[in-house]
Every structure is written in C-alpha cells, then in structure tokens.
C-alpha cells in the first residue's frame, strides 16, 4: 500500500479554516467512494478486476453487545463494573 504523501499547509489560511476545507474534501471523497462501492456490489460477483487492482467482495459477520438490552435484563448495577469509559477531545468547526 502506498504511503500517504504529506501535503504542505495552504498559505495564508488559518489552520481552523484549512481543517474545515480538508473535512469538506474528505466528505466529498467519502461520498464518491460510497457510490463506487455500491456500483461494485451491484455487479453481483465476488471478484472484480480493474486495470491495476482487484476487488474481492466478502461477507463478514460482526457480533456486538446490546448495552440497553443488558441493562433491561440484568439492571444497571450489575453491568456497571463492566462498562469501560474513555475520554477524548474533539475539534468542532462552526462558521463565524
């Protein structure tokens, strides 16, 4: 897999504004990736060969715990010791 190439900061733009612009670009790219993915899935085959890459469509299972159902079944006090809480910082951008 090719490493992402660092891009230089845009001149004369505040980092907050640059972050907003980058996030907008990511959203557009994600929307396009989702469209392409849907088209590949619609082909109905499990291997699709391109000029440079091959896509393999696989079905995957994921198991998750339903916290709300656990609380309803056993009570909050019983499951509380098993709840892991993490904290993190977010950067939210709002228009001035």
DSSP 14-65: -HHHHHHHHHHHHHHHHHHHHHHHHHHHHT--SEEE-SS-EEE---------
Has residue 92 been placed in a domain? no
Q: How many residues are present in the chain?
A: 96
| Domain span including residue 77 | 15-82
Q: Which two tokens stand for residue 48?
A: 């699709």
Has residue 31 been placed in a domain? yes
Q: Residue 8 has what pLDDT?
A: 66
* 31-78 pLDDT tens trace: 999 999 999 999 999 999 999 999 999 999 999 999 999 999 999 999
**0.75 exceeded by the pTM?**
no
- Confidence tier at 11 by pLDDT (50, 70, 90): confident
Has residue 4 been placed in a domain? no
Has residue 23 been placed in a domain? yes
Domain count of the fold of the chain: 1
Has residue 64 been placed in a domain? yes
Has residue 43 been placed in a domain? yes
Give the distance between the most distant pair of CA atoms in the chain.
57
Has residue 89 been placed in a domain? no
């Amino acid at each position: 897999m090719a490493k992402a190439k660092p891009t230089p900061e845009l001149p004369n733009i505040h980092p907050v504004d640059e972050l907003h612009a980058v996030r907008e670009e990511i959203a557009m790219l994600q929307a396009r990736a989702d469209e392409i993915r849907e088209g590949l899935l619609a082909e109905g085959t499990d291997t699709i060969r391109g000029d440079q890459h091959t896509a393999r469509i696989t079905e995957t299972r994921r198991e998750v715990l339903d916290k709300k159902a656990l609380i309803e079944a056993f009570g909050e006090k019983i499951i509380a010791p098993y709840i892991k809480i993490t904290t993190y910082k977010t950067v939210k951008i709002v228009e001035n």
